[in-house]
């Protein structure tokens, strides 16, 4: 159908259909291209250009199309438009009256020209130069401003060379053409503005999400980057799962909207840590609170050494008459001092977090804790308080049971925070995806003790991403950077222990998600040789 038809019912239906199509398009570039192509279609124009108005009052070339010359630049073409934007005003602020597109934007009026070569009102020298180079003949022009619902000119739609449908001859754009394109331009401007507002809101939302994540990372120098790296791993795993053509997940798929929802959840999975005390997040040693109390313990050992030396000196004074016990007492002093130094070094070593502490090591801490020393107030007291002794006996890591409960509570806080937000429909599962990153497939995780069947696949993805990032991180205070092979072996054992999703683990290995991530975020010395046969629980997919 063309605009030259007298079927006004058809014309109105065409305009309505175009409006619906424009409203449904979410991609900004495709939306602009659709506006131009639809305008060309209904007026049977041979070519056209769509400009958008920039904040510095210029018209930027967005789309250029010419059917006769086979030109398609900008938009979805992948070809950039090399022309400079058209200035609406000169440096002195005077309006650009010579360029037809600029004048349409400034005046807000449609300009309909039958023959550009016969126009004395506007400068078409550039058009003539283009025609000489290409052998084209630019004749009829219809230039329509795009005015949104706030009466702002946001761009210009320019059509070239309307053609008579039967003969193909170039004809002027009719008055009906003009009114129809003006109506389309009005619809298009509102749609473009709405889409721009939606895009701006999404950009703001994404920036706020990343702001929160970065704030959590910045809260502790030891977890800096964690909230930024978990989304990367999650996205890599989601893409890998969607590509699977074999195995239990071969039918799994996610739309771009669903992937975005998962990415938001991954960014916010630790948002509850914003309430976690910094000394717990940063706790690098077992005795650390606001500061590392190992130095206080060192001072107490120095007091014990001093007391031992004083006791020996007192014996010297008593035995100055040549008592044969004098040498024995000196030897005893050295033994006492050596024992104190050994015990002090053992306490220092125990203060560093590890993976395990034996019963014998815990018993030695209790024996050392029972030493008596004279404090500043002159009273005798145990070398270690009960709380210090219990902290030094921590078997794995540096956190006490109470501190681990504080850390674990961040997930419950995360869920509470995320569930309180008024999400649009496409983001309603964010809290569920983010809140499951410490759950385990056997139900032994926290905070809800969910089993695998109670968790969605995306939630299980965030859980694996969180674990692997923590295993490979080189910025933790309680462990050294772990080689890639060791991290994968631990992850494999977690599969066998039914702690992580087995199918996603196999995808993680099969698609080498670990290697893609490692090349981006791990130090070269961490990326060692991987023997897949040595990875526990890995089942090759074929």
Cα distance between the two ends of the chain: 53
Query: Which region holds residue 325: left if phi is over 0, alpha if psi is between -120 and 50, else beta?
Result: alpha
Q: How far is CA 176 from the centre of its chain?
A: 50
pLDDT of residue 327: 45
Q: How far is CA 228 from the centre of its chain?
A: 5
Q: What is the largest CA-CA distance in the chain?
A: 135
Mean pLDDT for the stretch of residues 136-165: 92
Rg (CA), the chain: 37
Say if CB 223 and CB 476 are below 8 A apart: yes
Mean pLDDT for the stretch of residues 155-179: 93
pLDDT of residue 329: 55
Helix (H, G, I), strand (E, B) or coil at 279: helix
Position 263 pLDDT exceeds 70: yes
C-alpha dist (Å) from residue 231 to 162, 466, 513 = 51, 9, 13
Q: Omega of the bond prior to 217 within 30 degrees of 0, cis?
A: no
Highest mean pLDDT among 46-50, 203-207, 338-342, 397-401: 46-50
As a whole number of angstroms, the distance between CA 415 and CA 519 comes to 32
Confidence of residue 424 (pLDDT cuts 50, 70, 90): confident
Task: Report pTM.
Answer: 0.64
As a whole number of angstroms, the distance between CA 47 and CA 258 comes to 38
pLDDT of residue 406: 66
pLDDT of residue 477: 54
What one-character-per-residue DSSP string does 373-421 give? Answer: EE-TTS-EEESS-HHHHHHHT--SBS--HHHHHHHHHHHHHHHHHHHTS
Position 291 pLDDT exceeds 50: no
Looking at per-residue confidence, does 4 or 50 come out higher? 50
Candidates 382, 347, 348, 344; CA nearest to 362 is 347
Candidates 490, 396, 498, 491; CA nearest to 440 is 498
Position 80 pLDDT exceeds 70: yes
Least confident of 341-350, 374-383, 454-463: 374-383
Backbone angles phi and psi of 176, in degrees to 5: -70, -40
Confidence of residue 4 (pLDDT cuts 50, 70, 90): very low
Q: Within 13 Å, how many C-alpha atoms sit on residue 444's CB side? A: 6
pLDDT of residue 265: 95
Q: In this structure, what token pair is assigned to residue 135?
A: 């052998």
Mean pLDDT (the chain, rounded):
84
Confidence of residue 34 (pLDDT cuts 50, 70, 90): confident
pLDDT of residue 331: 73
Position 3 pLDDT exceeds 70: no
Candidates 439, 423, 425, 402; CA nearest to 269 is 439
Burial tier of 358 (Cβ tally within 10 Å: 0-12, 13-18, 19+): exposed
pLDDT (tens digit, 9 = 90+) per residue, 463-489?
999 999 989 987 555 567 789 999 999
Query: Under 8 Å CB-to-CB from 22, ≥6 apart: which residues?
Result: 31, 34, 35, 38, 187, 188, 191
What one-character-per-residue DSSP string does 141-167 give? Answer: EEEEEEE-TTS-EEEEEEEEEEE-TTT
H or E, element range at 194: helix 175-219
pLDDT (tens digit, 9 = 90+) per residue, 360-417?
988 998 888 888 877 666 678 888 888 788 878 877 776 667 766 666 677 888 888 8
Q: In this structure, what token pair is assigned to residue 168?
A: 């193909």
Query: Under 8 Å CB-to-CB from 346, ≥6 apart: which residues?
Result: 364, 368
Confidence of residue 82 (pLDDT cuts 50, 70, 90): confident
Candidates 46, 10, 35, 38; CA nearest to 164 is 46
Candidates 429, 417, 414, 530; CA nearest to 466 is 414
pLDDT of residue 496: 95
pLDDT of residue 393: 81
Query: Under 8 Å CB-to-CB from 36, ≥6 apart: which residues?
Result: 48, 49, 50, 63, 65, 75, 157
Confidence of residue 359 (pLDDT cuts 50, 70, 90): confident
pLDDT of residue 1: 41
Looking at per-residue confidence, does 279 or 291 come out higher? 279
What one-character-per-residue DSSP string does 460-517 give? Answer: HHHHHHHHHHHHH-S--TTSPPPPHHHHHHHHHHHHHTT-S-HHHHHHHHHTTHHHHH
Position 324 pLDDT exceeds 70: no
As a whole number of angstroms, the distance between CA 479 and CA 352 comes to 9
Query: Which region holds residue 346: left if phi is over 0, alpha if psi is between -120 and 50, else beta?
Result: alpha
Confidence of residue 2 (pLDDT cuts 50, 70, 90): very low
What one-character-per-residue DSSP string does 412-425 give? Answer: HHHHHHHHTS---G
Candidates 466, 410, 397, 477; CA nearest to 222 is 477
Highest mean pLDDT among 12-16, 165-169, 379-383: 165-169
Token pair 């893409």: residue:
239
Least confident of 57-61, 231-235, 363-367, 515-519: 363-367
Helix (H, G, I), strand (E, B) or coil at 519: helix
Q: In this structure, what token pair is assigned to residue 329?
A: 């007492």
pLDDT of residue 6: 45
């Amino acid at each position: 159908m063309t605009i030259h038809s007298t079927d006004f019912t058809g014309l109105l239906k065409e305009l309505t259909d175009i409006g619906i199509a424009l409203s449904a398009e979410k991609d900004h570039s495709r939306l602009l291209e659709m506006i131009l192509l639809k305008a060309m279609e209904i007026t049977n124009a041979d070519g056209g250009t769509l400009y958008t108005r920039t904040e510095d009052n210029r018209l930027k070339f967005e789309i250029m199309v010419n059917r006769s010359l086979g030109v398609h630049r900008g938009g979805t073409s992948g070809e950039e438009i090399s022309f400079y934007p058209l200035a609406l005003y000169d440096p002195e602020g005077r309006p650009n009256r010579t360029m037809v597109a600029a004048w349409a934007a400034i005046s807000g009026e449609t300009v309909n020209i039958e023959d550009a070569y016969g126009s004395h009102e506007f400068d078409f020298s550039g058009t003539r130069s283009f025609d000489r180079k290409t052998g084209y003949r630019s004749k009829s022009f219809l230039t329509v401003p795009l005015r949104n619902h706030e009466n702002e000119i946001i761009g210009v739609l320019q059509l070239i060379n309307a053609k008579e449908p039967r003969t193909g001859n170039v004809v002027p754009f009719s008055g009906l053409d003009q009114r129809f394109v003006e109506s389309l331009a009005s619809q298009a401007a509102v749609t473009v503005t709405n889409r721009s507002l939606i895009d701006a809101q999404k950009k703001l939302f994404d920036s706020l999400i990343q702001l929160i994540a970065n704030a959590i990372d910045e809260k502790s120098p030891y977890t800096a980057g964690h909230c930024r790296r978990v989304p990367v791993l999650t996205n890599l795993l989601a893409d890998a799962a969607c590509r699977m053509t074999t195995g239990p997940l071969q039918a799994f798929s996610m739309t771009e909207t669903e992937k975005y929802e998962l990415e938001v959840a991954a960014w916010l999975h630790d948002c509850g840590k914003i309430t976690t005390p910094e000394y717990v997040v940063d706790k690098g040693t077992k005795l650390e609170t606001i500061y590392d109390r190992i130095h206080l313990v060192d001072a107490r050992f120095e007091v014990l050494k001093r007391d031992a030396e004083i006791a020996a000196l007192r014996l010297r004074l008593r035995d100055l008459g040549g008592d044969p016990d004098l040498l024995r007492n000196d030897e005893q002093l050295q033994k006492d001092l050596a024992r104190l130094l050994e015990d002090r070094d053992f306490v220092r070593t125990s203060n560093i977090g590890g993976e395990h502490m034996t019963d014998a090591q815990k018993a030695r801490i209790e024996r050392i804790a029972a030493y008596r020393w004279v404090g500043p107030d002159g009273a005798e007291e145990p070398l270690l308080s009960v709380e210090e002794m219990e902290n030094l006996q921590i078997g794995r890591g540096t956190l006490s049971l109470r501190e681990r409960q504080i850390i674990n509570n961040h997930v419950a806080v995360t869920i509470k925070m995320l569930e309180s937000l008024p999400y649009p429909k496409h983001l309603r599962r964010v809290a569920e995806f983010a809140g499951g990153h410490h759950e385990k497939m056997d139900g032994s995780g926290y905070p809800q003790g969910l089993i695998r069947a109670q968790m969605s696949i995306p939630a299980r993805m965030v859980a694996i991403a969180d674990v692997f990032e923590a295993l490979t991180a080189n910025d933790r205070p309680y462990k050294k950077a772990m080689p890639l092979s060791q991290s994968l072996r631990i992850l494999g054992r977690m599969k066998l222990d039914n702690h992580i999703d087995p199918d996603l683990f196999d995808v993680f290995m099969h698609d080498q998600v670990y290697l893609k991530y490692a090349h981006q975020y791990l130090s070269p010395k961490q990326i060692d040789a991987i023997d897949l046969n040595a990875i526990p629980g890995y089942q090759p997919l074929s």
